[in-house]
Amino acid sequence: MEGRRALPWKRPDVYQTISVERGAIAVVTLNRPSVLNALSAALLGELSDAMRALDAEPEIRCVILTGSGEKAFAAGADIAEFKQIQNAAGAADFARRGQDVLGVIERMRVPVIAAVNGFALGGGCELAMACDIRIAGENARFGQPEVNLGLIPGYGGTQRTARLVGRGMTMYLCLTGEMIDAEEALRIGLVQRVVPPASLLEEARRIAGLIASKAPLAIAAAKRAIRDGENVPLDQGLALEALHFAVVTDSRDFHEGTSAFLEKRKAAFTGR
């Protein structure tokens, strides 16, 4: 949480464009089904607030992010708001605001699982990519169709896609604007699991439960080591890994985990 302001928790009924289910496994649902959960400025603001608040709660072990309705996770940015952009400076500010929100999600202490139901296009695909793990329903569709509007991705689509699936596939998606289905997304490594739509949240909760059962400090350290090390030379990444490894061995959970293993019992992790 260093460098970030911990915002007070808002009750779920305060939000207008999202809903939040609290618990060790929290569920955040984009809630604008009439416009396929388009990412308006209001939704992005509420999403940022909710994610910051959840990340500040020590009881939270994992967050699932999904969309309401059966058609879409998020079909992209709110096109009506594009028309309000007056000039290049305004466009750059528009992109940076979205990037900042996705950065909040990417930097969270706890892992975030995207449960992608239906369309994840443009900003919706970018939002899913900011999450740590992506589970897709068989009906999910992914794409970066901004070129069809005379635009390019602005919330990280040219950058995170390349880091996840490589330069060639990123060029294909961003230059053609073509959608791919869930099985193709699985094949190229954009998602980690594909399940029937009716089983999507159940599978996301199963995976979240596995994560929640582990030592919280180790989970946070592993996430940070992976995120911080993926874009630096290998020797620097190994140094980061060793640093995080050393830090977690100074925790009570490390001693609990090793003792439980030797005593052939289930570990009781406390996050300390």
Which one is predicted more confidently, 52 or 8? Answer: 52
Percent of the chain with pLDDT over 90: 75
Contact by Cβ (8 Å): 147, 122: no
Answer yes or no: do 34 and 152 share one domain.
Answer: yes
Q: For residues 155 and 225, state if they share a domain.
A: no
Q: Which of 85, 13, 15 is nearest to 46 (CA)?
A: 15
Whether residue 207 is found in the same domain as residue 230 = no
What CATH number should be reported for the domain holding residue 235?
1.10.12
Residue 272 in domain: no
> Do 139 and 227 belong to one domain?
no
Q: What share of the chain in percent tops pLDDT 70?
A: 95
237 and 142 share one domain: no
What average pLDDT score do residues 249-253 get?
89
Q: How far is CA 262 from CA 125, 127, 217, 256, 272, in A?
A: 44, 42, 21, 10, 20
The verdict on residue 247 lying in a domain is: yes
Number of domains present in the structure of the chain? 2
Q: What is the pLDDT of residue 8?
A: 43
Q: Is the pLDDT of residue 24 over 80?
A: yes
DSSP 112: E
Q: What is the DSSP string of 56-69?
A: T-TT--EEEEEESS
Lowest pLDDT segment from 169-183, 199-213, 237-251, 254-268: 254-268
Decide if 146 is catalytic: yes
What are the tens digits of pLDDT across the range 65-124?
Answer: 999 998 999 998 877 777 777 788 878 888 899 999 999 999 999 999 999 999 999 999
Both 123 and 101 in one domain: the answer is yes
pLDDT band with cut points at 50, 70 and 90 for residue 195? very high
pLDDT score, position 3: 36
Structure confidence at residue 9 (pLDDT)? 45
Q: Which of 21, 46, 126, 183 is catalytic?
A: 126
Say if residue 182 is in the same domain as residue 64.
Answer: yes
The residue from 190, 212, 234 where one domain ends is 212
Give the Å distances, CA to CA, from 121 to 36, 74, 142, 210.
10, 7, 5, 29
Closest among 121, 128, 127, 116 to 73, alpha carbons compared: 116
115 vs 180: CA distance, rounded Å: 17
Catalytic residue among 106, 146, 203, 230: 146
CB 74 within 8 A of CB 37: yes
Assess whether 79 and 36 both reside in one domain. yes
pLDDT of residue 181: 98
- Count of other CB atoms within 10 angstroms of residue 60: 20
Specify the pLDDT at position 147. Answer: 95
For position 14, what pLDDT does the model report? 79
Q: How far apart are CA 11 and CA 2, in angstroms?
A: 24
Q: Are residues 62 and 148 in the same domain?
A: yes
What pLDDT, in 10s, does the model give residues 223-243? 999 999 988 999 999 999 999
Buried-exposed string 159-169: b where 16+ CB fall within 10 A, e elsewhere:
ebbbebbeeeb
Do 80 and 200 belong to one domain? yes
Q: What is the pLDDT, as a whole number, of residue 81?
A: 78
Give the pLDDT confidence score for residue 74 in this predicted structure: 96
- pLDDT of 5 reads 38
Cβ atoms of residues 196 and 182 within 8 Å: no
126 catalytic? Reply is yes
C-beta of residue 70 within 8 angstroms of C-beta of residue 118: yes
Residue where a domain stops, chosen among 175, 190, 212 = 212
Indicate whether 124 and 183 sit together in one domain: yes
Q: What is the DSSP string of 123-148?
A: HHHHHHHHSSEEEEETT-EEE-GGGG
Report yes or no on 271 lying in a domain. no
**112 Rama sector, left if φ>0, alpha if ψ -120 to 50, beta otherwise:** beta
Task: Find the domain containing 236 and state its range.
Answer: 216-262
